[in-house]
Amino acid sequence: MNIGNRISKLRDDRGWTQEHTAASLGISRAALSHYEKNRREPDTETLSKFADLFHVSVDFLVGRTNSPQAILDDPIRQFVDQLELADEQLLQNFALTIDGRKLSVEEARRFIAFVRAERMMN
């Protein structure tokens, strides 16, 4: 199922018209129709608006998951919300990547040092 089909189904499941949905998003009915018929894809900002309106994740809208909502347990959410990149255990246990390539522990330390130096200059 693609973005347009998911948007259309979510709207239909709620019994909303295209006019109502478009007005809620601040877009034209014609634009919504183009999205639903897969003639156009929404930009990032509009995709986020769809996710917020329908209370689903962007990953669900773009087909990366079939679960409408990304659910994080409280301990995981707290970990993600307060992630300290310089934590030694984090550097050892997690595969931090840039451009799809894993950073070595030493590369991660240099990156952290660079950010700290830049912050001191500002």
- Three-state SS sequence of 52-65: HHHCCCHHHHCCCC
Please tell me which residue, 93 or 44, carries the higher pLDDT value: 44
Each residue of 34-44: pLDDT tens digit?
Answer: 999 999 999 99
Q: Is the per-residue pLDDT at 82 higher than 80?
A: no
Tell me what pLDDT residue 38 has: 94
Q: Is the per-residue pLDDT at 69 higher than 80?
A: no
Q: Which domains does the chain show, CATH number per domain?
A: 3-61 (1.10.260.40), 74-121 (no CATH)
Find the mean pLDDT for residues 50-68.
87
Q: For residues 76 and 70, is the Cβ–Cβ distance under 8 A?
A: no
Q: Checking phi first, is residue 52 left (phi over 0); if not, alpha (psi -120 to 50) or beta?
A: alpha
Each residue of 11-29: pLDDT tens digit?
Answer: 999 999 999 999 999 999 9
Rounded to two decimals, the pTM is 0.57
Find the mean pLDDT for residues 94-101.
82
Find the mean pLDDT for residues 77-105.
77
Please tell me which residue, 38 or 86, carries the higher pLDDT value: 38
